[in-house]
């Protein structure tokens, strides 16, 4: 800051630190910071200043706490983003721009439209969807003195935010083994993608956004992606398919085994920014984890299976006699009975699979294999659940022997 004591010509010396030898271009900017200058735009409905949708204006805060009102014509139902930018992003010299809010034609402030620092650094950002087509005023300013840039962008998304059978043609499309990109224009925005799933096939959906902080580039600018879920062909969200941060960094990840073949819908969201949505097939489940399983094993025999994904469980039906002790062993890589590193075996309580505690085992066998002794109190069909500890996957062999 410099206040001259005499009117005249002065010189500004520009350069770099003498300790370092560097060459390069630069910009010298001189701004009159004198308070009390005439206000360029009044903070009343009499203001003749305007800003166009998908356009911007550059103006100046002549004094601390100056407010400028700009008239803008908005259309009902459209989503608009208002950005007031200053020194931190090179869009002016005002250090801390402040959006006073969106006002009706009579000057009434619309609740929820004011903002101070929701933009980049200390810039301000607000979103507004008018209920009526009309002229409005944008209230721009700040506590300091300096120039700023005000922009108004129509960010209305062509993809519907909610399922509507009449508008499925405007949904995004996603192929298994492929990806799709999109833009969450404002908080609360959701993008729906149609994807064809095959019954009993396990698919993984990853919603990725901005950089992970490890020096690698991201897949967009969305800071905190959120998968709002997988929806069945009728548009109903399937329980347990929403996710926030199960992927790498704070990306979202959902794994789902379809119960029916047909078109499903994936709903993507987050705060605001661009993203990439990935879909991959993890294959079909060889055996289900319920009484409908096709898996069977005989006493004195064995059966093989595959834990295809993290959390997968395979059930096998076996006929047992009450009062007889049976040795149940689940073996994998350590004994060359498969590739599964850490098998886990249990006996579900009833056809729904409710586990009432033991009998279950993780490392009771040789080299990390699982082994348990089970003596049923009733004769008939029982179920053995084969799986893995934590997130291990791979093939295994299940043995059942009468002791």
* Burial readout 54-78 (b: 16 or more C-beta within 10 A, e: otherwise): eeebebbbbeeebbbbbbbebeeee
In a domain, 291, yes or no: no
In a domain, 357, yes or no: yes
Task: Clarify whether residues 230 and 315 are in a common domain.
Answer: no
Residue 22's pLDDT band (cuts 50, 70, 90): low
Residue 273's pLDDT band (cuts 50, 70, 90): confident
Q: Which of 156, 187, 221 marks a domain boundary? A: 156
As a whole-number percent, the residues of the chain with pLDDT over 90 amount to 51
Q: What is the pLDDT of residues 141-188, one digit of tens each?
A: 998 889 999 999 998 866 666 655 555 666 889 999 899 998 887 777
Q: Which of 284, 312, 339 marks a domain boundary? A: 284
Report how far residue 107's alpha carbon sits from residue 91's, in angstroms, rounded to the nearest whole number: 27
Whether the per-residue pLDDT at 17 is higher than 90: the answer is no
Whether the per-residue pLDDT at 391 is higher than 50: the answer is yes
Q: What integer is the mean pLDDT of 86-94?
A: 92
Task: Clarify whether residues 353 and 382 are in a common domain.
Answer: yes
Q: The domain that contains 151 carries what CATH number?
A: 2.60.120.380
Structure tokens at 33: 């910071």
pLDDT of residue 37: 53
- State the residue range of the domain holding 238: 165-284
∠ CA 83-87-92, nearest 5°, is 70
Q: What integer is the mean pLDDT of 122-144?
A: 93
pLDDT of residue 167: 58
Task: Clarify whether residues 63 and 140 are in a common domain.
Answer: yes
Q: Which of 156, 186, 219 marks a domain boundary? A: 156
Q: What integer is the mean pLDDT of 216-235?
A: 88
Whether the per-residue pLDDT at 246 is higher than 90: the answer is no
Task: Clarify whether residues 110 and 174 are in a common domain.
Answer: no
Task: Clarify whether residues 147 and 208 are in a common domain.
Answer: no
> Rounded to a whole number, what is the distance in angstroms from the first to the last CA of the chain?
91
Task: Clarify whether residues 93 and 120 are in a common domain.
Answer: yes
- Least Cα distance to 68 among 97, 92, 47 occurs for 47
Q: Which residue has the higher pLDDT, 200 or 46?
A: 46
In a domain, 374, yes or no: yes
Task: Clarify whether residues 141 and 14 are in a common domain.
Answer: yes
Q: What integer is the mean pLDDT of 342-367?
A: 74
Handedness of CA 75, 78, 84, 90 (dihedral sign): negative
Task: Clarify whether residues 151 and 20 are in a common domain.
Answer: yes
Q: What is the pLDDT of residues 294-303, one digit of tens each?
A: 999 999 999 9
For residue 229, the cross-strand partners are: 267
Whether the per-residue pLDDT at 3 is higher than 80: the answer is no
Task: Clarify whether residues 56 and 108 are in a common domain.
Answer: yes
Handedness of CA 231, 237, 241, 243 (dihedral sign): positive
pLDDT of residue 45: 93
Least confident of 69-73, 91-95, 244-248: 244-248
């Amino acid at each position: 800051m410099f206040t001259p004591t005499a009117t005249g010509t002065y010189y500004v010396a520009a350069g770099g630190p003498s300790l370092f030898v560097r060459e390069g271009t630069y910009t010298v900017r001189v701004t009159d910071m004198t308070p009390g200058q005439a206000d360029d735009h009044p903070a009343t409905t009499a203001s003749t200043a305007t800003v166009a949708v998908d356009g911007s204006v550059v103006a100046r805060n002549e004094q601390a706490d100056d407010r400028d009102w700009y008239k803008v014509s908005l259309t009902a139902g459209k989503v608009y983003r208002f950005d007031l930018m200053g020194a931190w992003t090179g869009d002016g010299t005002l250090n801390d721009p402040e959006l006073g809010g969106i006002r009706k034609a009579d000057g009434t402030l619309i609740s929820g439209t004011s903002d101070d620092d929701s933009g980049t650094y200390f810039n301000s950002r607000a979103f507004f969807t008018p209920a009526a087509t009309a002229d409005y005023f944008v209230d721009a300013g700040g506590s300091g003195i300096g120039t700023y840039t005000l922009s108004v962008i129509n960010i209305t998304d062509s993809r519907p935010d909610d399922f509507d059978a009449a508008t499925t043609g405007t949904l995004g499309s996603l192929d298994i083994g492929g990806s799709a990109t999109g833009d969450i224009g404002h908080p609360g925005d959701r993008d729906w993608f149609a994807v064809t799933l095959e019954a009993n096939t396990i698919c993984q959906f990853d919603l990725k956004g901005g950089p992970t902080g490890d020096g690698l580039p991201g897949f967009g600018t969305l800071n905190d992606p959120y998968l709002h879920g997988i929806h069945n062909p009728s548009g109903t969200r399937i329980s347990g398919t929403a996710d926030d941060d199960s992927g790498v960094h704070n990306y979202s990840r959902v794994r789902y085994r379809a119960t029916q073949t047909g078109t499903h819908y994936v709903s993507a969201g987050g705060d605001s920014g661009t993203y990439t949505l990935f879909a991959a097939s993890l294959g079909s489940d060889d055996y289900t984890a319920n009484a409908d399983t096709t898996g069977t094993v005989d006493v004195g025999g064995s059966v093989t299976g595959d834990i295809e994904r993290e959390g997968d469980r395979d059930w096998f039906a076996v006929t047992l006699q009450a009062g007889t002790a049976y040795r149940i062993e689940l073996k994998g890589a350590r004994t060359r009975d498969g590739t599964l590193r850490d098998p886990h075996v249990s006996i579900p309580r009833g056809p729904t699979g409710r586990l009432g505690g033991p009998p279950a085992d993780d490392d009771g066998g040789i080299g990390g294999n699982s082994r348990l002794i089970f003596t049923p109190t009733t004769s008939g069909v029982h179920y053995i659940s084969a799986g893995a500890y934590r997130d291990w996957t791979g093939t295994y062999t299940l043995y059942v022997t009468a002791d």
